A and B are shown apart, each in its own frame.
Chain A
């Protein structure tokens, strides 16, 4: 019993460590004073200012557009690439898998500077296009890594049967393979979206003047003090995600209960 209590207390301490900064952020989004040091009464003025702060809203808009476009594209490319890699043999397969691991294992600052060198040498103007290209490139490997295990579990003979019965490869992929690997695709898409929305390093080196996502904005603000409006915005984003998660959790619980009943 003592042992159990010790492990409970230990786990609780770790969670306190993880969540204290988040609680501080949320609490200080209601702080009347602009400085982060002192508490000066409750206010919701930052939340009101948020809706008229064009600079911050534009960064939010860029962040979301970048995340949506790059996660969509990398999910599609990653799914087809995973199907292709799954069907490759020998050296080509090894080569493809290693190439895929490269951006996963390389430190992100190295990947980021190599993007910067590429775009500058190709005379591309740094901006939203270069950020999206970079995000697609670093998100796709994660999609592939979440789809590949599902392909391995899949019943291979079904796809072969479809091909033997005259389906074109594309039709077989659409009707037979994709339904079987859907959970992997969804995981990959969510992962890509999260990675893109939370990214700072890659965006920082591939963004030009004038385009900035939330991370870049926060970094440039950090030295002179962060506008509490950002705290308000993050609180809202965080709570939205929590609510979404709760809904999904409730739903999947309900479905589970139903399948058990049936």
Chain B
């Protein structure tokens, strides 16, 4: 229809603001030298060598572990809710699902910060615990608090895609399964769940990616005790000023995510084959 030329401006824009910057990050990752003067750069694998030492690998390992656990918790908590809401009558259903979107209108940092009020030493939860006659608990500044922050912030990202797949599902398939003698449990395992897998997969990616790369949640709720790869990258770019090492870690994070997404999409056979195939 000769309309394709309207897309080219955008392609140029994205080349300048997405492709070139990423290539620059790759370039920084494979060089060393003074970050401020390009002429001093020389090719080197030093940044990667430095990362693949026990100290940094442990940080990466911890980030992956926490992200995986929070993704699993989000799935276990989120799937039943998405399922329950999808079975409600239409007028309730839309309101209920909107209730998952509304919290996002309050600043994400503030909502995370509010947990400090709840979990702190003199916080609300400890207030009730001491009232009941128990000793106050150390709820804040540990891995559990970071995990809670991740689940809290990213749960809607799990519920929304699963919900949208479940509501679009053809009900006659489920009825057919009942008619053919399967009980409710079997119908769920053999029909509903497999059909909802595309939603589950996009939920998993939408929770895992921000969780593995966060630095805000860990620095607010983890204090200085939980140090994740996001914190390492932030530190290199904002404080230490070693862009080369920071870039190398960004590339490692990116490649790790690409690999894990390629692995998850293997399970997702029903994916729409319309572009985005590379990812």
Contacts and interface: CB of A to CB of B under 8 A. Distances in A.
Interface of A: 7, 10-11, 14-15, 17-22, 24-25, 28, 36-38, 77-78, 80-89, 92-94, 96-103, 105-111, 113-118, 121, 133-134, 137, 140, 144, 156, 159-160, 163, 169, 173, 194, 198, 200-201, 205, 214-215, 218-219, 222, 226, 230-231, 234, 237-238, 241-242, 245
A18 B17 contact: no
Query: By DSSP majority rule, is chain B's interface helix, strand, loop, or mixed?
Result: helix
Contact of B3 (A83, A93, A113): A83
20 contacts: A10-B84, A19-B103, A36-B116, A77-B13, A80-B9, A85-B7, A98-B279, A105-B257, A105-B261, A107-B212, A107-B253, A108-B210, A109-B234, A110-B213, A113-B247, A114-B250, A116-B237, A219-B109, A222-B220, A242-B102
B99 interface: yes
Q: How large is the interface on B (under 10, 10 to 19, 20 to 34, 35 or more residues)?
A: 35 or more
A101 B7 contact: no
B23 to A, nearest CB: 9
Interface in B1-22: 1-11, 13-15, 17-22
Contact of A200 (B104, B108, B155, B274): B108
Interface of B: 1-11, 13-15, 17-22, 24-25, 28, 38, 77, 80-81, 84-85, 96, 98-100, 102-118, 120, 122-124, 152, 155-156, 205, 209-210, 212-216, 220, 230, 233-234, 237-238, 243, 246-247, 250, 253-254, 257, 261, 274-279
Given A11-B81, A21-B111, A238-B105, A113 B10 contact: no
A201 to B, nearest CB: 7
B102 A24 contact: no
A215 B122 contact: no
A198 B103 contact: no
Contacts of B238: 205
Given A99-B18, A113-B237, A205-B237, A84 B107 contact: no
B209 A25 contact: no
A82 B80 CA distance: 35
